[in-house]
A and B are shown apart, each in its own frame.
Chain A
Amino acid sequence: MTVQSPWFPLFTAALLVIYYRVPGQWQWRVLLTGSGCFYLWAGKAYLGFLLLTLVSTYLAARQMGDGQGREDRKKRRPWLILCLTVNASALMLCKSCLLPGAKELLAGSRVEFLTLGLPLGISFYTLQTMGYLIDVYRGTVEPERNFGKFSLFAAWFPQLIQGPVSGFSQLGPQLTAAHPYDGQRLSFGAQRVLWGYFKKLVIADRLAPAVTALRQEQTVGGGFLVLTILYAVQLYGDFTGGVDIALGVSECFGIRLPENFRQPFFAKNTAQYWRRWHMTLGTWMKTYVFYPVSVSAPVRRLSRWARARLGGFGKRVGVYLATGVTWLATGVWHGLTPNFLVWGMLNCLVIVLSQELTPLYRRFHSRFGWKDKPWYGVFEGIRMFLLMNLIRACDLYADPREYFHRLLSLFSVPLWRQPVPALGLTGADWGILALGIGAMLLVSLLQQRAGSLRQLLWRGNPWLRYGLTFLLLVAVLLFGRYGVGYEGTNFIYSQF
């Protein structure tokens, strides 16, 4: 069963009925059983990996949080290192099986199945359990003593496929608390799920053949620029759609997961963009990579050394180094192929350059005074959109040389010289895409200005609410690309 399968809404609905029928203290057991069933249904071939993570993290956390480990940080450290190594190794092993050439190398072996794709949710549950383990090590979180409750936190089924990544202190207590039935909450959750399906099935999957066609055509120049734009829209619809489904399903059960996006394409600079795109990964990297590296002894020593010798720039060397390590880790988390490392480094480079050029920008703006003009805001938004698209296109080419060749073609080949090849979409497809993307843009604008649209609708005429929800349902059912006859596309982030 995949999230795109019609069984998923039915499965969720059945679980909801049971969930609100049992006494509050039993509700978490229903969720645990549901998550177990989902995993068995969707990815039982990889159950061993999930169990390894669950058992090792649970035991290590217990060792760190109980007995002598509770008092002495030094005694906790070996458990932390051991468990992090085991889980990170499992993740890296699985990711390395997807590297070019691995398929041939592992052909006929017992682990050949690993070359088909990553174990369901491994990138996300590994990250989440690692965060939990570090929190226990730091003493900011008490270890969960009930294995079932811990397993539920690590493998809560809606967020298993592509997040968001949650912290134990935020998610754990919610999952095990009693949640009485709340019609409004259920309705909000269902609306969000529908909106997620709309973005995934109507927009992202409808665009998928065009993105694939452009990739296969080895397009350069203008075609490459079009590819970066279409891929941005596809990835946005796919990823935010999947996360909306996860958040909506959780909301139906009374569980509030952290938001993962806040209108990222309205960002005006890189820092803003990364505070709006995949926010939970950013928070995780900041908490568990950036800060620890920043305050580590070697980095502090380097900072002191640089400050003494390089002046103003030297003050920032430590931060830049931590930023570099964080982006490297983010790149590796996405994949072990070189393009993801390049992607991470490019992001780091843009952030560092933006930081270093800040005085220049300030002088520029004080001279011309454009900063407050509305058109300049639009210009900044478009500039950011295009820049991030160009960096994001790294995802599409495992070999960075191919990527740079296309990137440079933007400057060497006149944009209009490279005609855009046939994209495999009909006029009706483009019509639906135009309407769908328009709706997505409108919703983003309204959310930016007025906050929660669901709250607004709830306060308004109920028939308007029913009508719009039904319209969304019909749009998903009719215009979604799903079912037999379609090349089904998995969520893009489920591959990372």
Chain B
Amino acid sequence: MKKWCAFLCGGLILGLLQGLLAPKYTGLTQEGGLIREYYQNAGGNDVIFIGDCEVYENFSPITLWQEYGITSYIRGSPQQTIWQSYYLMEETFRYETPKVMVFNVLSMKYDSPESTGSQSRREAYNRMTLDGMRWSSCKWKAVNASLTREERRWGGALTYLFPLLRYHDRWSELTAEDVRYLFHFQPVSHCGYLMRTGVEPMTEALISAPMTDAELGQTSWEYLDKMVRLCREHGTQLVLVKSPGLYPVWWWEWDRQVTEYAREQELLYVNMLPAQEEIGIDWMTDTYDGGLHLNVSGAEKASAWFGKILQEQCGLPDHRREETVSALWEARCRAYEAAKAEGR
């Protein structure tokens, strides 16, 4: 009995230590906490957006609600890769079956964890996507697909199941925030949308790295195939989108391949880049980082434009007359407007 009590106490203390040492993503890198927020909002969404920063910064579910009565949520995270998107999609189906799944195709340019940049940078992005996922077989598969060589050498997937093994040395960097948010989780997004209210105009042309490979990689296509199959199994319409953004460049060769694929698979593919004028995006006022991503004004314009397509081509219903749903979304809208007014 004593032994079991000791084990229990030990487990509890280790759990507390793990909670204390894990990053809280409440400061400058708020996007690291986005994936975790979904579980409190799962269910009742007609549309789920999945992808990288081009979804969680460029689309606003609140605008989709206000303009069209579409209920949606964004499962986005920084530099989310296609294999992560796939497993997030698989996980999402465990919580709800949306009518439409929107996938941002920019991440198809990466074909392996190594192709996304330096190992340490990739690892940091992996963490921001995977640490927030709940324990499940989906997480396990997502982790194993995402590990960098360096991570595989040092414990690999285990460090995602027990983040203490990764963050054990944060004891020297702990701040008051780590204690404050130990038992209390602070949501930072509006249905997965990370609001950016600042303006930093695009003043000079962003120079992209030259295209190294005109063909999108095999791994990307395999995961896209899996996405198509998964969505069909659940009776969900998969929509491919290329969200507005000047950088990184979405080369026309890639666009041609995705267009061709969408045609073959009878998928809706919306490339928003050529429609930027129609959308009304002004890169002097609608970006917060010189043209890489949209700010709230740009995101609202993009969402209003894209929502029309979703409504018309996917036949999504308007929920604004449904009392319960409306009450929930009106509360969300108030929080959104207040945040916008405060500029946070």
Q: Of A4-12, A88-96, A361-369, A445-453, which stretch is located at the interface? A: A4-12
> Is A404 at the interface (CB under 8 A from chain B)?
no
> Is A428 at the interface (CB under 8 A from chain B)?
yes
Chain B 230-248 interface mask (CB, 8 Å, partner A; 1/0) = 0000000000000000000
Q: How far is the CA of A6 from the CA of B166 in the complex (A)?
A: 11
CB-CB < 8 A to B164: which residues of A? 477
Selected contact of A470 from candidates B10, B123, B153, B171, CB within 8 Å:
B10
CB-CB < 8 A to A474: which residues of B? 13-14, 17
> Is B251 at the interface (CB under 8 A from chain A)?
no
CB-CB < 8 A to A485: which residues of B? 120, 169
Chain B, 1-49, CB within 8 A of any chain A CB: 2-3, 6, 10, 13-14, 17
CB A247 to nearest CB in B, in angstroms, measures: 23
Q: Are B155 and A6 in contact (CB under 8 A)?
A: yes
Q: Are B6 and A5 in contact (CB under 8 A)?
A: no
Q: Are B168 and A480 in contact (CB under 8 A)?
A: yes
Q: Are A482 and B6 in contact (CB under 8 A)?
A: no
Q: How far is the CA of A483 from the CA of B169 in the complex (A)?
A: 10
Selected contact of A482 from candidates B17, B154, B156, B162, CB within 8 Å:
B154
Q: How far is the CA of A462 from the CA of B151 in the complex (A)?
A: 38
Selected contact of B155 from candidates A7, A426, A473, CB within 8 Å:
A7
Q: Number of contacts between A and B (CB, 8 Å)? A: 66
Q: Are A478 and B154 in contact (CB under 8 A)?
A: no
Chain A, 451-489, CB within 8 A of any chain B CB: 462-463, 466, 470, 473-474, 477-486, 488
CB-CB < 8 A to A466: which residues of B? 2-3, 6, 10
Chain B, 135-150, CB within 8 A of any chain A CB: 150
CB A115 to nearest CB in B, in angstroms, measures: 19
Q: Are B153 and A488 in contact (CB under 8 A)?
A: yes
Q: Are B151 and A484 in contact (CB under 8 A)?
A: yes
CB-CB < 8 A to A483: which residues of B? 154-155, 159, 165-166, 168-169
Chain A, 408-456, CB within 8 A of any chain B CB: 426, 428
Contact A428/B172 with A462-B2, A483-B154, A484-B159 known, Cβ cut-off 8 Å: yes
Q: Are B158 and A6 in contact (CB under 8 A)?
A: yes
Contact A484/B168 with A7-B158, A470-B13, A478-B17 known, Cβ cut-off 8 Å: no
CB B108 to nearest CB in A, in angstroms, measures: 26
CB-CB < 8 A to A10: which residues of B? 158
CB B156 to nearest CB in A, in angstroms, measures: 8
Q: Are A463 and B155 in contact (CB under 8 A)?
A: no
Q: Can you name the residue of chain B whose Cβ is closest to the Cβ of A428?
A: B172
**How many residues of B are in contact with the other chain, CB < 8 A?**
25
Q: How far is the CA of A470 from the CA of B172 in the complex (A)?
A: 21
CB A472 to nearest CB in B, in angstroms, measures: 11
Q: Are A6 and B153 in contact (CB under 8 A)?
A: no
CB B288 to nearest CB in A, in angstroms, measures: 30
Q: For chain B, what secondary structure do more than half of its interface residues adopt (helix, strand, loop), or is it mixed?
A: helix
Q: Which of A466, A482, A484, A488 has the most CB of B within 10 A?
A: A484
Chain A, 343-378, CB within 8 A of any chain B CB: none
CB-CB < 8 A to B172: which residues of A? 426, 428
Q: Are B158 and A477 in contact (CB under 8 A)?
A: no
Q: Are A477 and B168 in contact (CB under 8 A)?
A: yes
CB-CB < 8 A to A479: which residues of B? 168, 171
Q: Are A488 and B168 in contact (CB under 8 A)?
A: no
CB-CB < 8 A to B123: which residues of A? 484
Q: Can you name the residue of chain A whose Cβ is closest to the Cβ of B171?
A: A478
CB A203 to nearest CB in B, in angstroms, measures: 15
CB-CB < 8 A to B6: which residues of A? 462-463, 466, 470
Chain A 211-227 interface mask (CB, 8 Å, partner B; 1/0) = 00000000000000000
CB-CB < 8 A to B171: which residues of A? 478-479
CB-CB < 8 A to A484: which residues of B? 120, 123, 150-151, 154-155, 159, 166
Q: How far is the CA of A463 from the CA of B159 in the complex (A)?
A: 30
Q: Can you name the residue of chain B whose Cβ is closest to the Cβ of A481?
A: B169
Chain B, 155-213, CB within 8 A of any chain A CB: 155-156, 158-159, 162, 164-166, 168-169, 171-172
CB-CB < 8 A to A470: which residues of B? 6, 10, 13
Q: Can you name the residue of chain B whose Cβ is closest to the Cβ of A10?
A: B158
Q: Can you name the residue of chain A whose Cβ is closest to the Cβ of B21?
A: A478
CB A38 to nearest CB in B, in angstroms, measures: 16
Q: Are B155 and A5 in contact (CB under 8 A)?
A: yes
Q: How far is the CA of A466 from the CA of B7 in the complex (A)?
A: 9
Selected contact of A5 from candidates B10, B13, B154, CB within 8 Å:
B154
Q: Can you name the residue of chain B whose Cβ is closest to the Cβ of A187?
A: B3
CB B128 to nearest CB in A, in angstroms, measures: 14
Q: How far is the CA of A145 from the CA of B317 in the complex (A)?
A: 78
Q: How far is the CA of A347 from the CA of B165 in the complex (A)?
A: 42
Q: Can you name the residue of chain A whose Cβ is closest to the Cβ of B167?
A: A483
Q: How far is the CA of A477 from the CA of B166 in the complex (A)?
A: 10
Q: How far is the CA of A221 from the CA of B17 in the complex (A)?
A: 44
Q: Are A6 and B168 in contact (CB under 8 A)?
A: no
Q: How far is the CA of A477 from the CA of B120 in the complex (A)?
A: 21
Q: Which of A6, A10, A486 has the most CB of B within 10 A?
A: A6
Q: How far is the CA of A481 from the CA of B168 in the complex (A)?
A: 9
CB-CB < 8 A to B168: which residues of A? 477-480, 482-483
Q: Are A6 and B159 in contact (CB under 8 A)?
A: yes
Q: Which of B150, B155, B164 has the most CB of A within 10 A?
A: B155
CB-CB < 8 A to A477: which residues of B? 14, 17, 164-165, 168
Q: How far is the CA of A477 from the CA of B10 in the complex (A)?
A: 13
Q: How far is the CA of A493 from the CA of B111 in the complex (A)?
A: 39
CB A197 to nearest CB in B, in angstroms, measures: 13
CB-CB < 8 A to A486: which residues of B? 154
Q: How far is the CA of A352 from the CA of B172 in the complex (A)?
A: 50
Report 11 cross-chain contacts, Cβ distance below 8 Å, ordered by A residue.
Answer: A5-B154, A5-B155, A474-B17, A477-B165, A478-B169, A478-B171, A480-B168, A483-B159, A483-B165, A484-B159, A488-B154
Known contacts A5-B155, A478-B171, then 18 further A-B pairs from the complex at CB < 8 Å, ordered by chain A residue = A462-B2, A462-B6, A466-B2, A466-B6, A470-B10, A473-B10, A474-B14, A474-B17, A477-B14, A478-B168, A479-B171, A480-B168, A483-B154, A483-B155, A483-B165, A484-B151, A485-B120, A486-B154
Residues of A within 8 A of B (CB): 5-7, 10, 426, 428, 462-463, 466, 470, 473-474, 477-486, 488
